[in-house]
Amino acid sequence: MTKLCQALEAAKGGKQAGKKGFSCKKTTYPVAGSNITVDSWRFQDWDYKRDDLPTYARGLFTTKRSDNKHEIVIRGYDKFFNVDEVTSTRWSQIEANTVGPYELSVKENGCIIFISGLEDGTLLVCSKHSTGARQDTEQSHAMVGERWVRTHLEAVGKTTRDLAQALRDANLTAVAELCDDEFEEHVLEYPPDRAGLYLHGLNYNLPEFVTMSGPQVHAFADEWGFKKADFISIDSIDQVKSFLEKCAETGSWEGRDTEGFVVRCKIRGRKNQDAGPDWFFKFKFEEPYLMYRQWREATKAIIAGREPKFRKHKKITEEYLLFARRRLAKDRNLGKLYNQNHGIIKMRDDFLAEKGQNGADIIRQEQKEGAGDVEDVSNIVLVPIATIGCGKTTIATALVRLFDFGHIQNDNIQGQKGRPQRFASQVVSELATHKVVIADRNNHQKRERKQIISDVQRIIPEARFVALHYVHEPKSKLLDQIRKVTQERVLERGDNHQTIQAGSKGRRETIGIMEGFLNRFQGCDTTSDPDDSFDLVINLDVTASSLDNLDTVITKLYNTYPKLFDKEMPTRGDMQDAIDFALNSQVTVKHELSFGKENRGAEKRPPTPAQLVKKLAYFSISVPKSEIEQALADVFADSSAEEARMYNQLRQSRRIQAQFHVTLIHRASISSHQHVWESYVNAFMQALGSGNLADKAAPTPVLGLARVKLERVVWDDRIMAFVVRVLPTESGELWPSANAITHVTVGTASPDVKPKESNELLARWEAGQEGRAKTWEKQPRTRNRVVNDENAEAVTAASTRLTRAKATILESGSQVSAVAKKPLQARKAATSTLNGPQRRKALGDVTNAAKGAEVVQDAKKAAGAKAGVAAKSQPVGGVQKLTRTNSSRAALGVKDSNTKPKPAEIKKPASGSGALSKKRTQTTSSSTAAASLNEEATPEAEQPPRKKSITEHLVRESKTDEEEYDCMAVLDAEDLGDPSMCAEYVREIFEYYHELEKTTMPNPNYMEHQDDLEWKMRGILVDWLIEVHIRFRLLPETLFLAVNIIDRFLSAKIVPLDKLQLVGITAMFIASKYEEVLPPHVGNFVHVADDGFTVDEVLRAERYTLSTLKYDLSYPNPMNFLRRISKADKYDIQTRTIGKYLMEISLVDHRFLEYRQSHVAAASMYLARLILDRGEWSSTLCQFSGYTEEEIMPVFELLVDYLRAPVAHEALFKKYASKKFLKASILTRKWAKDYCSSLPDDLSLEEVKEYQ
């Protein structure tokens, strides 16, 4: 028993060593009414076909006794398979390897329940993998099962204690089938008089599988009041086969419908007839149950408004659906109940009663009329769904070798034009001479599968499609092993491929191509278009051998289309020969993916600035897409249907521009505006400077910043445009426009309408003339909006929507774009204001912005910023941040103002005592002096009495005891003149935040109760949400709140894997509505999730999430703590930026969940200062953060551990690798590498702590 538990623990949460490892999931459950907890152990379904698992029990629960020894408390059957499902269940193998008697138990149609007794006398009732209540449903299977146990026991005058003791004394698990239509319907009917627990097994709680015989099970059922699963005992295997085939003709036994039988026997012992271990297999009847399932799925399709798809039993299914439509039309509530799996059997039975037949009668009638089977077994297209290196062509070539299937390889089709259509055309042509054709290409995206299916069906409507689905999902579990195996295969074959010639391309380029396919892979989903068109989906293991996958494909095809094969089926040796032939085949066609085009530009010299100028098409101001989209949403939010018709048409037809810009002057206007063109050309030439013109990745030169006001939107039935005004910048510079009316084109009704028609539309509008269609206009609603630049943090818009956008060059010719492509943008467009920069309210702003525009301009002059066009080496990037004029701290824009005496080189964090005491004294003097200067500058009689008394009180307190100097009071006193900083009660605010942290922390171990999820999946989700956050340009607070919502929700609810992304986008949607002034529309969130969910699903999820959290979103955002600490750090922009990166690490790494956000913020600032060599963790920083250096160490160590490991979260790393964020991710990882260079590479985090 100990050995088994050790093996299970070793397999928990990861792969075993070797090419094809396995993983085991452990989940711990409390037992109601007991202090005992039990552990559920679960392998993946596909792993049960292996021969090296520590156990094959499906339904295994263990615990530790009071003597601290492991014991099995629930033991299910060993996994058993259907006849012909695996090699061991082929009739020839069963006959050779088993001995009778054979007990055939009726396969009851319900869900399995396990019952046993615990050490303390508690009765344990479990479903296959859980026990007790579940948070994702009102009634779990285990709860309903326990209720039925009590009902059965009461009928015979016994108690749960009695049953628990009896089972424990015998060391048994009772195995029963829960059949109750009032709880959950299946295929067969169990009305109230037949509902209950059908006992069909008594297993010993041992590592090996040992079970009692049928008569013993029946005797136990009689004694304890359970229902009995009927069985029959047969001596020989030939009699078993005869009996099963006869029952299969009617799908019933002794007048009772059944899905089949479970056959219990024993493995043949060494002496031929000796009985060995217990062994099970099953025989499921295909009909009429496949027909019943087809009716059920077709009914659900029409309830959902989809066209039902079916190929077998066409005539009777069409009759049934006509009957079902009438019933659903008569009772609208019936559809809702049907989707909840209620009323399915009644609908079917009412139809059969109307027909006067049962299911078996219908099947016999179809067989007699020849209508039951699919009419033809030709025109079958095998569609691989794979990525590079999966072995699809090897399987295809082997199938051709064995069965003479048709085979069309996409890689053999040369030329780019119409390639997908020519591929489909060749598949169609091949079907003329072959029953089966393999459409050999990756088909890894749904659009590719849709194209091949629709193009083939257009010519051959009756064609059928079979998916050869190489399973890649869940990617978080499978992708690492798939990468390893496929890369080995592709690199080993070298140049023996039509397009991916690894030998010539080199390892790096080849792997880069393969990664693209893996990232784009979309698994087969038969519930949605186009994958619902597949007749059959054959799931294949990418990491398995080609021989195993070929065997799987042939077996599945044979079972589904037995008439397809008119020759003797191949042996295992034949299959191996076919694989060897395929692997030794040499390709005869080779071509580059560029289809023979020359590598343009490889030998060309970089263009000169003069050459670039000749190719310029126009100068423009780029405007953020989100600004335009939000403005449009505001304009048409309350419009009539007629007014919004054009807007809706543009959205639905995707005719809204992908990018927006204000054209300042076009090349066509040079003759009439020569001076304007020349001024822009001169600025362009100056901005080009000494840049590398041959570097295509070099940024497009930024000419400067502009302010754009969206005034009104004008449209007719052909085109829509915003009338805009280009305002002077704060430094007074102007960007003249050659257009009569400056505008932004929103979109055109069709490709035939050119954007330049905006000029004609606006000319008519200004003149008050009507064209052939009505001209509309509407003004954006006025609203105050906070617009965020993440690294500049708190700029506000004025009373109308304004955008600070870059005046950049946009080229039109492909040759020009080859020199300077779209990435030529040194910075993101920042958003500016009319009234000067403002601060975030109440929470200790970090902008250091001056109170008046004059100070900003003075600072620009002092920093050497050039008014007008930006210098080539330093484009204007936004309002420079300054300290307040009444503060002793210098502006952040001047590097020397923040310098400190550098301590000796720090390799490890010091204690913060001793050597730093002198520095602390200096800081104290400086701060006190600053406060004194403030008092002297304002005469006592002129100060507002309230603020004066507070100031004096704070400073007086700070001077009372030099040892307990209150630096917070002095620094906060500086903000008393600014009501937005709430200096009078900022301490109380943060005291409240620290208390609030306790109530909004998620359960750091919530993954233990998640059946389908793992911590790695959470990290992947958050990393993707960071991409979404960047795309929507949301506030940092929004991201932190979204992740907190996710963690708190997952702490409370069990979520299946396919709904995890829905939880993520819903949390981001809620957080954006809470934090943003203008949050993105719900449709935008649906779109970024690849339309995997509907708007209604997101809105329902929003309501469910908020109700789960009890509408409590009062989350103390860590950005508030970071800003508070940054005040004590003199608002150092570099330190704070690195601190923000380190804080976001805590979002993707679940190990930080156990720490408060204030703790993480303090550790982030501590590590940021250490990296930048900003000195020790002073008493001022201790007071503002609330944490000493010693308290910070555990979080500090986690951060260092994350940084020293390989990059695991790409989106986060790339975000902070940009110049905008001072390349924080690169800098911190380099520091971590140096910091840990003296430590052995293989040390764990715990060992690192000991080493230090």
For the annotated catalytic residues, the residue numbers are 107
Cα 417 to Cα 436: distance, rounded to the nearest angstrom: 27
Cα 777 to Cα 763: distance, rounded to the nearest angstrom: 13
Using left for φ > 0, alpha for ψ between -120 and 50, and beta otherwise, residue 13 falls in left
Cα 849 to Cα 795: distance, rounded to the nearest angstrom: 10
Cα 771 to Cα 791: distance, rounded to the nearest angstrom: 47
Q: Report the amino acid identity of residue 887.
A: S
Alpha helices (runs of H) in 199-266, residue ranges in sequence order? 214-224, 237-250
Q: Given CA atoms 527, 531, 536, 541 in this order, what sign does their dihedral have?
A: negative
Cα 1237 to Cα 1251: distance, rounded to the nearest angstrom: 13
Among 523, 555, 247, 500, smallest CA distance to 388 is for: 500
Which value, to the nearest 10 degrees, does the dihedral of the CA atoms of residues 199, 203, 209, 213 take? Answer: -70
Q: Helix (H, G, I), strand (E, B), or coil: what is residue 439? A: strand
Q: Given CA atoms 508, 512, 514, 519 in this order, what sign does their dihedral have?
A: positive
Q: Helix (H, G, I), strand (E, B), or coil: what is residue 145? A: helix
Residue 421 near residue 432, CB atoms below 8 Å: no
Distances (CA, A) of 745 to 628, 656, 1002, 1205: 10, 9, 47, 48
Residues 6+ apart with CB under 8 A from 233: 101, 102, 103, 104, 214
What tokens does 803 get?
């955008």
What tokens does 872 get?
């080539």
Rg (CA), the chain: 36
Cα 749 to Cα 716: distance, rounded to the nearest angstrom: 10
For 1245, other C-beta atoms within 10 Å of its C-beta total 14
Cα 310 to Cα 372: distance, rounded to the nearest angstrom: 12
Q: Helix (H, G, I), strand (E, B), or coil: what is residue 733? A: coil
Among 1118, 1115, 1127, 1148, smallest CA distance to 1215 is for: 1148
Give one DSSP letter per residue of 780-819, joined into a string. PPP---EE--TTT--EE--SS-EEEEEEEEE--SHHHHHH
Among 1033, 956, 971, smallest CA distance to 844 is for: 971
**Buried b / exposed e across 468-482, counting CB within 10 Å, b at 16+?**
bbbbbbbebbbbebb
In what helix (H) or strand (E) does residue 1182 lie, and over which residues does it extend? helix 1179-1185
Among 208, 235, 236, 232, smallest CA distance to 218 is for: 232
Cα 953 to Cα 951: distance, rounded to the nearest angstrom: 5
Residue with tokens 């619902």: 532
Q: Report the amino acid identity of residue 886.
A: N
In what helix (H) or strand (E) does residue 451 lie, and over which residues does it extend? helix 446-459
Cα 247 to Cα 334: distance, rounded to the nearest angstrom: 34
Q: Is the peptide bond preceding residue 1206 cis, with omega within 30 degrees of 0? A: no
Residue 54 near residue 7, CB atoms below 8 Å: yes
